[in-house]
């Protein structure tokens, strides 16, 4: 009997030890411990040929080149990739994937199909992207014409363990809804809804630039961007997040640091098209 009592005590203390270790690891992740630093940010960027594409993607490349442990997936809406774009990606020194998928019939020409193909690529090539089976990742959709603060990637996206959301500023004319900012509404440190003028009834009334998803949740389902999204009244974000299994549960993360300061770290911008008086490029590469 004494032998079993001793064994029981040892099992009890072992269980307590393992519990304490798990709590410490979780806290390290929350404050930027070693696991967070090793977590790879996977950025998905659909792109297409246009006269202002090269300055847009050059500007984005200059931002992402300052972010460590990042894999950049760029998807061309076309039948082939563009050498000038590949050259930009090479100059960043980042790990990247560049592929071409022309928008399939029935999909809107808004990058939905390209993001879908990127998600499928991630699920089929996870180990290759992470360069190991042990590291974690976070998936973020970054359009090539938006403006991003480095702190968004380094201080928040990499810390997302499930789903993260944050404010997005709108600065170009003609945006549907006319809101200067779309942001999560936080009550008692919990996201209860979203401050958005356009179709605010959406469960996730977020901009494509306003959320990131931990890779584990991407790999749990086959959810992609469909041809339509009735739940979003035409906006695809809420359909993807709901299909991934998310709801407004307490586990939903938001950018508490910048929420308090009311800082915006990503802006939904758009480069205006120039009014050209001539088409001669004098031998230089210019898309049109």
On whether the CB atoms of residues 143 and 237 are closer than 8 A, the answer is no
Helix (H, G, I), strand (E, B) or coil at 203: coil
Positions marked catalytic: 237
Token duo for residue 241: 């997040």
How is residue 110 annotated by DSSP?
A: S
Is 207 annotated as a binding-site member?
no
Please name which of 149, 127, 123 lies closest in space to residue 136, comparing C-alpha atoms.
Answer: 127
Helix H, strand E, coil C: the string for 145-187 is CCEECHHHHHHHHHHCCCEEECCEEECCCCCCCCCCEEEEEEE
Residue 97, strand partner residues: 73
Please state the residue numbers annotated as binding site: 145
Please state the residue numbers annotated as binding site for Mn(2+): 145
């Amino acid at each position: 009997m004494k032998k079993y009592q001793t064994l029981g005590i040892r099992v009890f203390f072992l269980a307590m030890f393992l519990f304490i270790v798990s709590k410490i690891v979780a806290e390290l992740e929350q404050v930027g411990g070693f696991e967070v630093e090793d977590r790879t940010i996977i950025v998905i960027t659909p792109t297409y040929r246009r006269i202002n594409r090269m300055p847009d993607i050059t500007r984005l490349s200059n931002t992402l080149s300052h972010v460590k442990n990042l894999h950049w997936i760029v998807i061309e809406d076309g039948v082939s990739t563009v050498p000038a774009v590949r050259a930009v990606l090479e100059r960043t020194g980042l790990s990247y994937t560049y592929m071409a998928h022309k928008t399939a019939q029935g999909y809107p020409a808004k990058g939905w199909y390209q993001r879908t193909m990127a998600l499928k690529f991630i699920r089929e090539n996870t180990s290759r992207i992470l360069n190991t089976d042990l590291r974690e990742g976070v998936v973020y959709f970054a359009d090539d014409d938006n403006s991003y603060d480095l702190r968004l990637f380094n201080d928040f996206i990499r810390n997302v363990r499930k789903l993260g959301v944050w404010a997005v500023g709108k600065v170009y004319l003609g945006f549907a809804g006319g809101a200067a900012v779309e942001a999560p509404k936080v009550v008692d440190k919990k996201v209860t809804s979203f401050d958005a003028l356009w179709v605010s009834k959406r469960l996730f009334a977020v901009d494509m630039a306003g959320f990131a998803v931990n890779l584990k949740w991407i790999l749990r389902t086959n959810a992609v961007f469909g041809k339509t999204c009735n739940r979003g009244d035409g906006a695809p974000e809420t359909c993807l997040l709901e299909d991934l299994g998310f709801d407004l549960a307490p586990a939903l993360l938001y950018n508490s640091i910048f929420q308090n300061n009311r800082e915006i770290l990503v802006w939904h911008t758009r480069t205006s098209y120039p009014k050209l008086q001539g088409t001669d490029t004098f031998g230089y590469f210019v898309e049109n």
